[in-house]
Amino acid sequence: MLKIDPNNYASLRQHGEETYPHECCGVLLGQMDEHGTRTVTSLARAGNTRTDSAHNRYNIDPKELIRIQREGRERGEDIIGFYHSHPDHPAQWSQTDFAEAHWFSCSYVITSVQKGKAVLTNSFELTGTDEIDKMLVIETLQVV
Amino acid sequence: MPKIQIPTPLRQYTGKQPAVDVTAATIGEALSDLVARHPDLRRHLYTDEGKLRAFVNVYLNDEDVRYLQKEATAVADGDSISIVPSIAGGRN
């Protein structure tokens, strides 16, 4: 399960509207409890390095991720997931999303942005332990 | 001693430690020391052929070691080595 407050939820959806018709991307920071529930306490917008194909691809520069991780660590936050948008496409993971997912036990949040407006937002947990048994499984996204 | 920052998904293999001090003079030695201390990490970092997995990025402070001397890159006390699995995707 992923818990997120209304402000951060609105913010990640809005990010996708701002970058439309390109994909947005960012990092979810917070904590995971002993039951596996992840709670978002802050977001970090990230740049999409896939300027060659930003309408259907995203990539976060690892250097930027290191900075985000370090700043999060200073606040007592861990990286617990990532978000990106699908312009004029469902809020469902694609084969590309799946192939490029490697942060096990983290949440991958996808927002469908239709004609510039955020519609549906879904969250998927990357389960498993390696490239053989990994799965992206839809999880409860609780806005509280 | 250089310190290796461990990403969230790999901390289950380091006893939940978010960072591990290693004894090393190079990146290669640092990673070797890391997997010697925590053997379960090996298959998540390396292929069966012993190569670093393509989606595993290794940074020395703020530099990608691919653009330095790769595993021969020298490290020193106080250096921060980060293991960063790739973050990418797309709608189709």
Mean pLDDT along residues B67-71: 96
Name the residue range of residue A62's domain.
2-143
Q: Closest chain A residue to B89 measured between Cα atoms? A: A97
Alpha carbon distance B33, B27 (integer Å): 10
Determine the pLDDT at residue A134: 96
The residue in chain B having the minimum alpha-carbon distance to the alpha carbon of residue A69 is B7
Q: What is the pLDDT of residue B92?
A: 83
pLDDT for A104 beyond 90: yes
pLDDT tens digits, A8-58: 999 999 999 999 999 999 999 999 998 999 999 999 999 999 999 999 999
In this prediction, residue A53 carries a pLDDT of 94
**Is A25 an 8 Å CB contact of chain B?**
yes
**pTM for this structure?**
0.95
Interface check for A9 against chain B (CB to CB < 8 A): the answer is no
What residues of A are annotated to the active site? 23
Decide if B90 and A103 are in contact by the 8 Å CB cutoff: no
Q: Do A100 and B55 touch (CB under 8 A)?
A: yes
Superfamily of domain B3-85: Beta-grasp domain (3.10.20.30)
Indicate the pLDDT class of residue A64, thresholds 50, 70 and 90: very high
| Mean pLDDT, range B60-65, rounded to an integer | 94
Which strands, in side-by-side order, build the sheet including A107-114? A135-139, A117-127, A107-114, A78-87, A25-32, A38-46, A2-4, A141-143
CA distances from A38 to A45, A79, A98, A100, A105 (A): 18, 10, 20, 21, 9
Q: What is the ipTM of this complex?
A: 0.91
Number of structural domains found in chain A:
1
The rounded distance, in Å, linking the Cα atoms of B84 and B64 is 10
Question: Which CATH number belongs to the domain containing residue A97 in this structure?
Answer: 3.40.140.10
Interchain pair A69, B55: CB under 8 A: no
Residue B14 reports pLDDT greater than 90: yes
**A 51-90 near B (Cβ less than 8 A):** 53, 56-60, 62-63, 65-67, 69, 73, 78-80, 82, 84, 86-87, 89
**Mean local confidence (pLDDT), B60-70:** 95
